Amino acid sequence: MISEFPRVRFAPSPTGYLHIGGLRTALYNYLFAKKTGGKFILRIEDTDRARFVEGAVENLISTMNWSGLHYDEGPGIGGEYGPYIQSERLEIYKEHTEKLLESGKAYYCFCSKERLDFLRDGQKAKGEQSVYDKHCLKLTPEEVAEKLKDGLPYVVRMNVVANQRVHVKDIIRGNIDFDTNTIDDQVLIKSDGFPTYHLANVVDDHLMKITHTIRGEEWLPSTPKHVLLYQAFGWEVPVFAHLPLLLNPDRSKLSKRQGDVAVEDYRAKGYLKEALINFIALLGWNAGDDREFYYMNELVDSFSLDRINKSGAVFNLEKLDWLNAEHLRAKSDSELASLLKEELITIGEYSDDFSDELLEKVVVAMKERVKFIKEIPQNAGYFFAKPDSYDEKGIQKGWKEDTPGLLTSYMQKLKVSLIHLKKIMKLL
């Protein structure tokens, strides 16, 4: 039975970096959980061993923590429904696969790659949709047992019944119907013994009592397969919400070919986490007004799934830069001074001579002129180091015969003014 309190999950694959779209998915799940008093779960879907990247899990968790998306259950902190890493749940998937095989909802497939390629090429040549032809479903139990005994490689496929309709309810997209004649007999267990996303996702969401499956639009075509699996197990189907795509300015799908897509890239460039979260939240959602500046707690208060748009959201870097400047200026001078100190240490220009008082004076002077903390040492290095060069052409252009005399006279006047100022200060 699904939990009476909302339970949502972010379930990334550890294939490298955290995609900016993944951050938005995690954020929307987090905001929904916090708004409704529910739980936000992190689950690592690492069953695709060919794409697994060493260290990716640690990097992903570190990036989420930096972003302020702290999960209630998951790797490192545990929970009632663990383990939360799929490669540690293989026996669970095996057990549930056996139930599907026994009920006839799934079957063994021993077809070779060559046969599958031949089948696919033939269907493509005829302009037909590429689907498995249920060849191995015709095998007798004795034939299946013999092939298993002989150690032939196999996969386990879902047995999709033809001429049926699958109804999907989606908070964002409404009610959608799918024809089972267009749904392939999806592989559930691969030849390496690991489950595919489809089986592991459904089993884990059910056992972890997930109430709302909030994920990217790219998973919408897979949803009828998941609904069929829920029905095959006799389980209640969660509420679905498929988020709109993130788009480049030319409205193509956001990709690394046109710019950075990793959260780590934006962090390295000096974007504030508050600005990045604020920006990502507005990529496909709004509160129904023109407001654009938010802190995390304000996003939680304003968020609702029914305010998410269907259409793709354009990734506008200029708006992100503007938000970064706004969040920078909204910070206290002491916070900015701490960030400036960190930046100076990072670039190797920090000195013990730089007091907190000095750094605060610098940020007061510069914060209205920059969008990033790193721009302060870049544009105003004179605060931190004596000049080691000068513009010779500029000197030649502005230097006159009487310049030395004028400068000497000016210095004398400054000294006299300083003496008078000291006398006044003593009188006070």
Active site amino acids: 256
Q: Are 185 and 158 in contact (CB under 8 A)?
A: yes
Contacts 24+ apart (CB under 8 A), 48-56: 48/13, 48/15, 48/194, 48/197, 49/87, 49/192, 49/194, 51/13, 51/15, 52/14, 52/15, 53/14, 53/15, 53/16, 56/14, 56/15, 56/16, 56/17
Residue 66's contacts (CB-CB under 8 Å, 6 or more residues apart) are 267, 273
Gap between the Cα atoms of 89 and 372, Å rounded: 44
Burial class (CB in 10 A: 0-12, 13-18, 19+), 393: exposed
